[in-house]
Copies of this chain bind each other. A is one copy, B any other.
Amino acid sequence: MSSLLEAFDNPNPERRYTIEFTFPEFTSLCPKTGQPDFATIVIWYVPGPRCVELRSLKHYFWSFRDQGIYMEPVTNQILNDLVTLCDPVEMEVISRFNIRGGIDHEITASYQREDEEGVSF
């Protein structure tokens, strides 16, 4: 739930720098079978006016534990929620889901503020 997320003012807004979180304990439920899914979520961003507060991010991740949600939408939803929260210059979310049926699954979604020119990566 995005209401769990909190932000704080970027202490160094004059400089372009990057922040990266890695959360290896993400778990949700498969909406079709109800079986648990496990993933490592990586968030990389160039902060704009606000930064993501670490403890609130942990509670946000935990709120997916009992939700039935597919892998593709959950990655995009996390990106959308965090962009709304803190208006970053750039942001990328990577979800590496544990092997299922012999197949590993990784989804990467990225965002770039429209007033920025450059390449996404």
0/1 string, A34-69, CB within 8 A of B gives 1: 011010000000010001001101100010010000
* Shortest beta-carbon distance from A9 to chain B in Å: 10
- With known contacts A25-B38, A36-B25, A99–B99 Cβ distance under 8 A: yes
Mask: chain A, 8-33; 1 = CB below 8 Å from B; 0 = not: 00111001111111111101000000
A107 engages B73 (CB within 8 Å): no
| Minimum CB–CB distance for A112 against chain B, Å | 10
Q: Please, which residues of chain B bring their CB within 8 A of the CB of A99?
A: 99
B101 near A22: Cβ-Cβ < 8 Å: no
Interface residues of A, dominant DSSP: strand
Chain B nearest CB, measured from A50 CB (Å): 11
Interface assignment of A84: CB less than 8 Å from any CB of chain B: no
- Across the interface, do B76 and A12 meet the contact criterion of CB distance under 8 Å? yes
Cβ contact within 8 Å between B73 and A12: yes
Jot down 20 A-B pairs with beta carbons below 8 A, ordered by A: A10-B72, A11-B70, A11-B76, A15-B76, A16-B110, A16-B120, A19-B72, A19-B105, A19-B107, A20-B104, A20-B106, A21-B104, A21-B105, A23-B102, A23-B104, A25-B36, A25-B102, A27-B36, A36-B65, A55-B101
